[in-house]
Chains A and B, each alone.
Chain A
């Protein structure tokens, strides 16, 4: 009987948090109680940025945050955390991961850090929240917004926006007072839950700028010590939530969109042309990141190759 302690930064009530708790439940059920996953939520034991390392060192056993938190360890993690402006939906990302070479690169990358990537899952593309209209790419010029540090700020800077670095917690006061005009938090439904649209009455939906990949990873030694059937159980459990989350997320977004429209929030659905322009600028930034480490280059090539194959890029 084995017990593994995982931690996520998502809250127990969020879409992703619930999915991860369900993952823990599925593991227990499918293994007949031989394997238990304890899923700590809301970064209860270790700070979000430190979960990956904590799991690789054996403080925890597993990390269920996202590779976006560890891009400082290898730039390649960016391509496992969020290919910003790249894909349109979860299926495309799963396609890249399973058929486009993502899996093999993941093994090479994660094993270097004594971690194993069991699987990934993705919700719907995220929505921006803003006090000013964001009808198209032109509106990004001069738009001051709270941006998570990293690739996102680089892309938006190229488009003439002013990314402001501040802790997410300060966004609500900063948006009401006008220090920033907008913020990037999560999907439409989650943003609504957080009250982002109580302070900003404009949003982009369906989203395009970001679709973070959630990774479910485990300490490599712990992984190797598991019998094969339990490894299969964990993989199957992740695959199950990976199938459920996008559907649930899309349904949540639809419901949120209806309620937000009623509440007077303006939803901006960008034209295909503007989405294309955004992707083109984003690609310049991906290319820049691809030069930072050998594995980043490899991951970038596999993404671009797959996007060309499915027609997202020419």
Chain B
């Protein structure tokens, strides 16, 4: 069976960004209190939560690829003999490489530009959302492509244990 820890018991480094959710709650609380109690809305709370959540949203994809848990419909897959499963796995890998590879490769030039020109969000608070998130997406997509390859190699051609990703 899978050597992965169960979803909730996982305490590895890759789960650390999940704590950002708590930061989002804290910032939201701060904004509501500042605006409702002290009548002094901030200009940064909304954009900070946006910034933080986008970071976890991107990261969550990497986390899911690492756990090989993307949503899939597995009826035919489960009925297939091992060799055919291997073919299906290869098709899935090809798709992953095309999608994530395209994000990383073709997104690189504009992301690089956003980073070196330190492109800001263009608002009153003006956080560096494009400057940070565009390159981050490139890096994460590249890592997702890499992990998809690892998953493909790791999946054994026999046995149901190979089917870690089936939902």
Contact = CB atoms under 8 A, between A and B. Distances in A.
Interface of A: 53, 57, 69-73, 142, 144, 149-150, 153-154, 157, 162-166
**Secondary structure type dominating chain A contacts:** mixed
A202 B138 CA distance: 47
B122 A70 contact: yes
Contacts of B89: none
Interface string B128-148: 001000000000000000000
A73 B46 contact: no
Given A164-B35, A165-B46, A165-B47, A150 B41 contact: no
A57 B111 CA distance: 12
B39 A153 contact: no
Interface of B: 35, 39-41, 43, 45-47, 109-110, 119-126, 130
Given A53-B110, A150-B124, A154-B124, A165 B119 contact: no
Contacts of A72: 119-122, 126, 130
A285 B88 CA distance: 60
Contact of B41 (A71, A144, A149, A154): A144
A288 to B, nearest CB: 11
A280 to B, nearest CB: 20
A67 B126 CA distance: 17
Contacts of A57: 109-110
A164 B41 contact: yes
Given A162-B41, A165-B45, 5 more contacts: A70-B122, A72-B126, A73-B119, A144-B41, A165-B47
Contact of A150 (B40, B123, B130): B123
A25 B5 CA distance: 60
B111 to A, nearest CB: 11
A71 B126 CA distance: 11
Nearest to A142: B39
A250 B60 CA distance: 49
Contacts of A69: 122
B124 A149 contact: yes
Contacts of B125: 149
B130 to A, nearest CB: 7
A117 B24 CA distance: 40
A144 B41 CA distance: 9
A151 B125 CA distance: 11
Nearest to A56: B110
18 contacts: A53-B110, A57-B109, A69-B122, A71-B122, A72-B121, A72-B122, A72-B126, A72-B130, A142-B39, A144-B39, A149-B47, A149-B123, A149-B124, A150-B124, A153-B124, A162-B41, A163-B43, A164-B41
Contacts of B41: 144, 162-165
A126 B125 CA distance: 24
Nearest to B121: A72
Contacts of B46: 165-166
A144 to B, nearest CB: 7
